Amino acid sequence: MNPSSAFRAVAVAVFAALAAPVAQAQAADSIVIGASLPLSGPLAGFGAYQKWGYETAVNEVNRAGGLAVGGKKYTIKLVLRDDKTDPNVVASNTETLISRDGALAMLGSCTPALVNAGALVAERRKVPLVAGCDPLGAFKSVRKWQYAWAIFFEEGDLGSAPFRMMADYGLQTNKKIAVFHDNGPDGQVVGGQIWPAEAKKGGYTITTASSFPVDTQQFGAMIGQAKGAGAEIVLADAIPPQAITMRKQMAAAGYTPKLLVMEKGAEPEQFAQALGKLANGVLVGGYWDPSFPYPGAAELGKRFEAEAKQTQSQHIADSFTAAQVLFDAIAAAGALDREKINAAIGKTDKSYVVGPVKFDAEHASRIPITMVQWQGGKAVVVWPKERANGKLVFPLPAGN
């Protein structure tokens, strides 16, 4: 047979195979919720936590007999797709989940690039999407959202936290700051804009500020400059691999500032595992800990560690919350109607695992920031006082 006809045969067969699911989408008494997650690629780490958060929320509802909408119980069917940490794939996944699997509403991916890519599609298709894991500044900067909602911290809070902490505790330094930040979206905002601004306000001087792409592995030059400038405060914003390398190279360069903050990178437990002693005293902004006084917080932490056999991460909280917010809104809407659900999400005002959730005019709900410090392999909340479950170690121990 000739190639072109061969092609047609294949093409038809394939489309038949692929088109099939469309029919059985949105089965009688189940609601389809779609989510595209980075299950492989650089962000696979975050993806795993979110997956757990979403699935746990869904299981909870289903175990309780399903979600009551307009007097009728619906079981929730969560359809996950891997986006390989590629915004192009997030977009096509979202498109597919909506059109093929007939997702009634969407849950977000992680980090601005991925969340926004999906949100833009949802926006076009007028499908509500609730996301955690997308810093609010970056989320708002994209556009005036109609159907996308975000529950996370505000870069502004994160950026100002170290300064507020230093003020509260009256830490003694030479007020000289070195800033290292990656040039990813949030890195740009926190390291490039907020820290400088906050430093100005607090009367600190930024001696060196350097940025780098998220695949660099060498920071010799910037560390050398900071050391040369005698900065006693180092504020860094980098993903885990880089933060780990950076911490090593700081020690290797014989540079020990009094205060070391490593946003993003120092947050997961692997940071402490990979660095051992070197992790001690490193600070990182956090927004959740099982010790917080929110409904179900402690349980959620325990449950994760029991099921996943690894230490909890705050990402389970915001993903779990995002899902719960969405389900509550569906229930509140009283009908499987996207417009109604979207409106209901906007009206959310309730305290969840991650804290109180209430969306502002720009579809964002803020989670307050705390400062967490690694002490002997444990992440200890050291600021603000009222939330702290341990004492701040200051200055930074030499490490070796």
Partner 1 sequence: MSDYALELGFRLLLLISLAEAWNLLAGYGGLVSLGTASFFGVGAYALVGLANQLGVPPALAVPVAGLAAAALAALMSRPLFRLRGLYFTVGTLALAEALRLFMINNTAFGGATGLFLAGDAPSLQSLFLMALALLAVTTLVMALATRSRFSILLRAVRDDEDAAAQIGVRAFRIKLLALVVASWLTGMAGALQALKLGAVEPYGTFGVQWTVAVLSIVVIGGQGLRAGPVLGAVFLVALSELLADWPALHLALNGLILIVVIRFAPQGLAGLPSALAQRRGRR
Partner 2 sequence: MPGLELVASGLVGGLLLGGMLALIALGLSIALGVMRLVNLAHGELLVGGAYLGYFLTQATGIDPFAGLGVVAVAMAVIALPLHRLLVAPLAGQGMEAPMMTMFGVSIVLQNLYLLAFRADTRAIDTPYAGRPLQWGPITVPLTYLIGFVVSVVAVAAVHLLVSRTAFGRDLRAASADPVAAATLGVDVGRVHALTFSLGAACAAMGGVLVGTAFSFTPNTGATWLLVSFAVVVLGGIGNVFGTLVAGLTLGVLQSAGALVLGDGYRDLVGLVLFLLALAFRPQGIVAATAR
- Distance of closest approach, residue 161 Cβ to partner 2, in angstroms: 24
- Distance of closest approach, residue 221 Cβ to partner 2, in angstroms: 4
- Distance of closest approach, residue 131 Cβ to partner 2, in angstroms: 20
Q: Which does 110 bind (CB under 5 to 8 A by kind): partner 1, partner 2, none?
A: none
Closer by beta carbon to partner 1, 113 or else 326: 113
Asked if 338 and 128 count as a contact pair (C-beta separation under 8 A), the reply is yes
The tally of CA atoms less than 13 A away on the side-chain side of residue 375 is 13
- Distance of closest approach, residue 316 Cβ to partner 2, in angstroms: 15
Residue 305, Cα to own-chain centre: how many angstroms?
Answer: 19
Closer by beta carbon to partner 1, 51 or else 176: 51
Q: CA 390, CA 28: separation in Å to the nearest integer?
A: 52
- Distance of closest approach, residue 298 Cβ to partner 2, in angstroms: 25
DSSP labels for 69-97?
Answer: ETTEEEEEEEEEEE-TT-HHHHHHHHHHH
Closer by beta carbon to partner 1, 19 or else 167: 19
Closer by beta carbon to partner 1, 126 or else 350: 126
- Distance of closest approach, residue 365 Cβ to partner 2, in angstroms: 28
Q: Which does 187 bind (CB under 5 to 8 A by kind): partner 1, partner 2, none?
A: partner 1
Closer by beta carbon to partner 2, 95 or else 269: 269
Asked if 108 and 35 count as a contact pair (C-beta separation under 8 A), the reply is yes
Q: CA 230, CA 209: separation in Å to the nearest integer?
A: 13
Q: Which does 254 bind (CB under 5 to 8 A by kind): partner 2, partner 1, none?
A: partner 2
Closer by beta carbon to partner 2, 152 or else 212: 212
Q: CA 133, CA 175: separation in Å to the nearest integer?
A: 32
Q: Nearest to residue 326, comparing CAs of 28, 46, 31?
A: 31
Backbone angles phi, psi at 36, to 5 degrees: -105, 125
Closer by beta carbon to partner 2, 62 or else 311: 311
- Distance of closest approach, residue 237 Cβ to partner 1, in angstroms: 12
Q: Which does 91 bind (CB under 5 to 8 A by kind): partner 1, partner 2, none?
A: partner 1
What's 191's DSSP letter?
I
Q: Nearest to residue 35, comparing CAs of 156, 112, 119, 113?
A: 119
Per CB under 8 A, residues contacting partner 2 are 40-45, 47-48, 183, 210-213, 215-222, 224-225, 228, 240-241, 244-245, 247-254, 268, 270-271, 273-276, 278, 399-400
Per CB under 8 A, residues contacting partner 1 are 1, 3-4, 6-7, 10-11, 14-15, 17-19, 22, 37, 39-40, 79-82, 84, 86-88, 91-93, 95-96, 98-100, 112-113, 116-117, 120, 124-125, 138, 141-143, 182-185, 187-188, 211, 213-214
Q: What is the dihedral of CA 288, 110, 80, 329, to 10 degrees?
A: 60
CB atoms closer than 10 angstroms to residue 376: 10
Q: Which does 273 bind (CB under 5 to 8 A by kind): partner 1, partner 2, none?
A: partner 2
Q: Nearest to residue 325, comparing CAs of 370, 368, 365?
A: 365
Q: Which does 350 bind (CB under 5 to 8 A by kind): partner 2, partner 1, none?
A: none
- Distance of closest approach, residue 312 Cβ to partner 2, in angstroms: 15
Closer by beta carbon to partner 2, 80 or else 222: 222
Closer by beta carbon to partner 1, 141 or else 205: 141
Asked if 295 and 320 count as a contact pair (C-beta separation under 8 A), the reply is no
Backbone angles phi, psi at 92, to 5 degrees: -70, -35
Asked if 215 and 241 count as a contact pair (C-beta separation under 8 A), the reply is no
At how many degrees (to 10) do helices 315-333 and 338-347 cross? 120
Q: Which does 65 bind (CB under 5 to 8 A by kind): partner 2, partner 1, none?
A: none
- Distance of closest approach, residue 11 Cβ to partner 1, in angstroms: 5
